[in-house]
Structure 1
Amino acid sequence: MAASHATPEMMAFMVKHGSGIVSVGMKEEDLERLKLPLMSPESEDKDSSAPTFTITVDAKTGTSTGVSALDRAKTVLALSSPESKPDDFRRPGHIFPLKYRNGGVLRRAGHTEASVDLVILTGLRPVSVLSTVVDPEDGSIASLPFIRKLALEHSIPVISITDLIRYRRKRENLIERTAISRLPTKWGLFQAYCYRSKLDGTEHIAIVKGDIGNGQDVLVRVHSECLTGDIFGSARCDCGNQLDLAMQLIEQAGRGVVVYLRGHEGRGIGLGHKLRAYNLQDQGHDTVQANIELGLAVDAREYGIGAQVSLHTSILNMFSASFRYRFNELQILRDVGVQTMRLMTNNPAKFTGLKGYGLAVIGRVPVLTPVTEENERYLETKRTKMGHIYGSDLQGPLAPFIKPSVNKKESSDGEPNPE
């Protein structure tokens, strides 16, 4: 709900059907203006997926204890007012301000971001008021059927964070092209397009071969940055070899695109964490076990959300290939003119995530590189634990790269057999 429209009746409804904790989502600049520091500053650094509470407040003017619906409404209205000053509030209080991450649900798929994004779409001041709905029987977070029943009784629309992300991503331009240059390479002559993400400022690059023309049936590789593999030729992974093969195939085809996504080091965990994971792998862990041992996501790259999680449920923020729709590469591919593509990948998450939104994946081309003693366990783990597929719908010239031990459990149609 828009904080600027808060009333005692609405506060009473929230307290009655919610957890009793009423929060207010606010942008960082408003929190700084009102001098509302984070309750636990280090929590934001340790876990960027967690909600970030500031110290609690009550409005000083026109309130008593601060706990009544009337007092809470006045505090919420004061927080939403651009005229309010730090001295207008008592600390601590009964309202819980929350810091909104810039970029909203496209940056963090959380309740705070979703509620503020909805208010922004109405054109009102970007301050929201929210509370978690609970089951009156046992106090647990309410189930979706309960939410739907409550919404029907009170004529309240229900929306999911998934819906909001789709809406924003379809209607907003999230990247900007900053430069184009001719790029002679060891594979041949390409054009390099540089793009900057409006969400976090990260620069990505598209390497384009030939005339994309009508954008139909374009050979495409979406490649996540891997410093150790791409630059230093690490034998622990197949990243550098995959990039090399993709560039070769596009050069041979005379037409295609490689989108190189930066900020995805180590499937999104960062270079330092990746090197620590290497040490654990030397001790016997596989790539998945090593990430888990370090308390990290198996795949922390931002692909977008996939799970249908509604605003009433606990916060969705597992940044994994299963849970996030990719948006940078989609808009980059559209910008260079791609409409339908043959996607070079062994990762079904990329194949699924790039479908729709004006783009169509009409085929998958495997990126099969030599299996070595150093990377054999890594590749097998990606197949058995991360769902990578090493068969293809285009065989032929790539067949010599296939090693039976990696593909031994794969069916004839290129899909992995159930474990």
Structure 2
Amino acid sequence: MSTRLIQGPAVTTLPIDHRGRQVLLDAYAYQGNNEHEQILALIHRSPEADPDVVPIVRLHSGCVTGDVFHSLRCDCYQQLQLALDAICTAPLGAIVYLPYQEGRGIGLYKKLLAYGRQDRGADTIEANVEIGVPVDARDYEFAAWVLRDIGFRTVTLLSGNPLKKSALVKNGIQVNKCAPLKSASNRYNERYIRTKRKRMSHDI
């Protein structure tokens, strides 16, 4: 993407309820090349935070079925909640939320098409191949640009996905370390998690 077309940030405060506790976050919104490319960065800062502290960061791809409806077919909701647990108690941290990356970048409609193939026995990789879409179509150049804009040039990354780390490093973000978020599996997402671990080299 061309960073010259990025608009923002639009800045406000966002009070949230997280596990029964009120937390005040700084919200930064950015508009990318087209109306579908939008990013929300939610930042938690403790007043007493050391100015040299390395922020913890979660890059979270939007997932309507998981984040909104708590689908058991993936681990997106659990990952988001674990990320909020960490960030809302850290001296400095952020969730960079990428709603346009639904279904690893293929969109909601095609994600459900792939689900249909999974219902007939394909794993997540095979299902995407069968419907003619990339296994992972996500790009993190925009997210890296946002991190630089909010002053996060060195981060601890809350992820076990090696592609996220390499993409950030490629785009000028130093990853101090990765801290994978590990959630419990269930009978609906066991194969999904196993595929990420064994075929996509995720540390989960």
TM-score by length of 2: 0.90
**Cα pair 1:215 1:338 within 8 Å, conserved:** no
Cα gap change, 1:186 to 1:373, in 2 (>3 Å): same
Q: 2:17 aligns with which of 162, 186, 190?
A: 186
The alignment's C-alpha RMSD in Å is 1.8
Q: Which residue of 1 aligns with 2:31?
A: 196
Q: Which residue of 2 aligns with 1:377?
A: 191
Confirm whether residue 257 of structure 1 aligns to residue 94 of structure 2: yes
Q: 2:200 aligns with which of 378, 386, 391?
A: 386
**Cα pair 1:175 1:332 within 8 Å, conserved:** no
Which residue identity does 1:279 align to in structure 2?
A: G
Q: Deviations over 1:292-347 (max 9, x none)?
A: 1111111112x2xxxxxxxxxxxxxxxxxxxxxx2111111111111211000111
- In structure 1, list runs of 5 or more residues that go unmatched: 1-105, 107-168, 304-325, 391-419
Tell me, in whole angstroms, the C-alpha distance in 2 between the residues paired with 1:358 and 1:264: 21
Tell me, in whole angstroms, the C-alpha distance in 2 between the residues paired with 1:336 and 1:215: 15
Superposed, which structure 2 residues align to 1:116-265 within 5 Å?
A: 172-187=3-18, 188-197=23-32, 199-201=33-35, 202-210=37-45, 214=51, 216-265=53-102
**Cα pair 1:216 1:338 within 8 Å, conserved:** no
Tell me, in whole angstroms, the C-alpha distance in 2 between the residues paired with 1:183 and 1:263: 21
Deviation at 1:262, TM superposition (A): 2.0
Tell me, in whole angstroms, the C-alpha distance in 1 between the residues paired with 2:165 and 2:67: 22
Higher relative contact order (CA 8 A, sep 6+): 2
Secondary structure of the residue aligned to 1:208 is strand
Cα gap change, 1:342 to 1:270, in 2 (>3 Å): same
Q: Which residue of 1 aligns with 2:181?
A: 367
Deviation at 1:357, TM superposition (A): 4.6
Tell me, in whole angstroms, the C-alpha distance in 1 between the residues paired with 2:179 and 2:96: 15
**Cα pair 2:11 2:27 within 8 Å, conserved:** yes
Deviation at 1:206, TM superposition (A): 0.2
Q: Deviations over 1:236-263 (max 9, x none)?
A: 0001110111011111213201100121
Structure 1 runs of 4+ aligned residues shifted over 4 Å read 211-216
Superposed, which structure 2 residues align to 1:295-374 within 5 Å?
A: 295-301=132-138, 303=139, 326-355=140-169, 357-374=171-188
How high is the sequence identity, in percent, across the aligned residues? 41
Which residue identity does 1:292 align to in structure 2?
A: V
Q: Give the number of equivalent residue pairs.
A: 197
TM-score by length of 1: 0.45
Confirm whether residue 278 of structure 1 aligns to residue 129 of structure 2: no
Tell me, in whole angstroms, the C-alpha distance in 2 between the residues paired with 1:213 and 1:184: 23
Which residue identity does 2:121 align to in structure 1?
A: G
Secondary structure of the residue aligned to 1:372 is coil
Tell me, in whole angstroms, the C-alpha distance in 1 between the residues paired with 2:9 and 2:80: 23
Deviation at 1:200, TM superposition (A): 2.0
Tell me, in whole angstroms, the C-alpha distance in 2 between the residues paired with 1:336 and 1:214: 14
Tell me, in whole angstroms, the C-alpha distance in 2 between the residues paired with 1:288 and 1:267: 11
- In structure 2, list runs of 5 or more residues that go unmatched: none
Which residue identity does 1:200 align to in structure 2?
A: N
**Cα pair 2:144 2:168 within 8 Å, conserved:** yes
The structure with the largest strand share of the pair is 2
Deviation at 1:175, TM superposition (A): 2.3
Tell me, in whole angstroms, the C-alpha distance in 2 between the residues paired with 1:228 and 1:241: 12
CA radius of gyration, larger in: 1
Deviation at 1:176, TM superposition (A): 2.3
**Cα pair 2:141 2:171 within 8 Å, conserved:** no
Tell me, in whole angstroms, the C-alpha distance in 1 between the residues paired with 2:50 and 2:176: 17
Tell me, in whole angstroms, the C-alpha distance in 1 between the residues paired with 2:192 and 2:173: 31
Tell me, in whole angstroms, the C-alpha distance in 2 between the residues paired with 1:262 and 1:239: 12
Deviation at 1:216, TM superposition (A): 4.4
Cα gap change, 1:216 to 1:327, in 2 (>3 Å): farther
Which residue identity does 2:7 align to in structure 1?
A: E
Tell me, in whole angstroms, the C-alpha distance in 2 between the residues paired with 1:351 and 1:369: 20
